[in-house]
Amino acid sequence: MIRNVYNEDDRKIYRVACVMVFVTLLFSGCEQKARMPVVQGAVTGIKTISDPGGRVSFLHLGNLIAFDRMEEDGFFDVYTMNPNGSERRCITCGRLPKNNGNPSWHPSGRCMVFQAQDPALEGVPVGAQGDHFASPGIGINNNLWITNADGTKFWQVTHVKERYGTLHPQFSLDGKKLLWSEVERPGGSLGGWWVMKLADFSIAKDVPQISNVRILAPLALQLYETHGFSPDGKSILFSGIEGGGFYYDLEIYVMDLETGETTRLTSNDEWDEHAHFTPDGTHIVWTSSEGTPQKKSTSWGEMRENPLLLEYWVMNPDGSGKRRLSGFNDPLSPDYMNWKGGVGLGDFDFSPDGKSIIAKMRKGFGGEIAALISFVPFPQSNSIEVA
């Protein structure tokens, strides 16, 4: 026989404690759902295929990946490799000096576009960060170049002035359009005031050329970073920052190329970038700091001390149904990667079947890698939706 050793005072304390635990669990659960909506088990595998690695482009026709990576001299070069990381080949080594990167395949596989730092232009007058601003991720003093698939021929297609630059070129899926960002007026912490440019692209007698260049600057933002076309080519995705903002003010936008109508898809005062339509056009995947606690730096100096932490998110094309896909920085997630300094995510590109991506990842305070990340198919019915 078990004897009850609790008196009435003990029972009162016990009941109060139970109520407090219940309330704590209730509200902590609500907070977690509101702060970290997540698709459980969305990431099914991660494989490093190049270390170091960087910005990437997946040629579906030839099953070949183009990417950039930093060399021992501190400058970037463009490479190609198979999806398993084999047969790695440098395209720009010994051909173009300084920084070369941000490659993007033409859908035909005949050529690719990339950024190249112009050695004739002086460094950006920001002290020790001059070469950093001329790296492929920022693009100051960068021009767009085209190379054929084996890297034996090169053509320069833009000619920027000192402290101007280009960023993130992307072909349409039919190969007839080329989209990129370009500095319209230099200066400031964002490298200048930017616009987007859209040009017709063609290859005549094996020579690539652009024509009919148009300027796109919807909503009069300060920074535009182009991310690519919808599968039908009728709209484009880009991230942007309003005047006076910094990178934690990045938001995702979609623009209808026929009507010019532009819709803001995120509105959260977070770092939202690198948005791409899934191959079937039914979803948009992007990187975001949403739901990942971190210091929101307001300068490049602060960012060096506080590396950016990002996760993959997915939403419908109209911006509804936002769900977090990964949990690389979440200790409670099966995806958690215990890297000192956390996980940062750069640009990515989908595999032909849409079930995996080739992505740039930052390893904490360390270098960058190119990784193949597998996902379950979209959408997921057990996800938690946020506005």
Residue of 242, 228, 325, 232 whose CA lies nearest to 275: 228
User: pLDDT tens digit string along 12-52?
Assistant: 443 444 434 333 333 333 333 344 556 766 899 999 999 99
pLDDT at residue 139 is higher than 60: yes
Q: Is the dihedral of CA 331, 251, 175, 378 positive or negative?
A: positive
Radius of gyration over every alpha carbon of the chain, rounded to an integer in angstroms = 23
DSSP 231-262: TTSSEEEEEEE-TT--GGG-EEEEEETTT--E
d(CA 143, CA 124): 15
pLDDT recorded at residue 218: 98
Choose the weakest-confidence range: 34-43, 104-113, 237-246.
34-43
Asked whether residue 339 is domain-assigned, the answer is yes
Q: Reduce the secondary structure of 28-59 to three states and give it as a string.
A: HHHHHHHHCCECCCCEEEEEEEECCCCCEEEE
- Give the list of residues 6+ apart from residue 319 with CB closer than 8 angstroms, or none: 263, 264, 265, 266
> Cis ω on the peptide bond leading into residue 52 (within 30° of 0)?
yes
Give this prediction's pTM.
Answer: 0.86
| Span 150-174, average pLDDT | 96
> Which phi and psi (to 5°) does residue 34 adopt?
-70, -35
Asked whether residue 20 is domain-assigned, the answer is no
pLDDT recorded at residue 122: 77
Residue of 271, 214, 268, 261 whose CA lies nearest to 239: 271
Asked whether residue 12 is domain-assigned, the answer is no
Greater model confidence, 36 or 62: 62
Asked whether residue 383 is domain-assigned, the answer is no
Asked whether residue 83 is domain-assigned, the answer is yes
Choose the weakest-confidence range: 21-35, 60-74, 321-335.
21-35
Share of the chain above pLDDT 70, in %: 84
Greater model confidence, 36 or 244: 244
Asked whether residue 126 is domain-assigned, the answer is yes
Structurally, how many domains does the chain consist of? Answer: 1
Share of the chain above pLDDT 90, in %: 73
| Span 205-227, average pLDDT | 97
Range of the domain at 138: 39-375
Q: Is the dihedral of CA 46, 52, 54, 59 positive or negative?
A: negative
Q: CATH number, domain at 270?
A: 2.120.10.30
Choose the weakest-confidence range: 227-241, 253-267, 318-332, 371-385.
371-385
Asked whether residue 162 is domain-assigned, the answer is yes
> Cis ω on the peptide bond leading into residue 377 (within 30° of 0)?
no
Local structure of 58: helix, strand or coil: strand
pLDDT at residue 378 is higher than 80: no
Asked whether residue 4 is domain-assigned, the answer is no
Greater model confidence, 78 or 379: 78
Greater model confidence, 301 or 98: 98
Following CA atoms 183, 179, 356, 340 in sequence, which dihedral angle do they give, to the nearest 10 degrees? 0
pLDDT at residue 181 is higher than 70: yes
| Span 347-368, average pLDDT | 91
- Joined tokens for residue 149: 């698939």
For the chain, give the mean pLDDT: 86
**Is residue 285 within 8 Å of 313, Cβ to Cβ?**
yes
How many CB atoms sit inside 10 A of residue 85's CB? 17
d(CA 236, CA 25): 43
pLDDT recorded at residue 298: 86
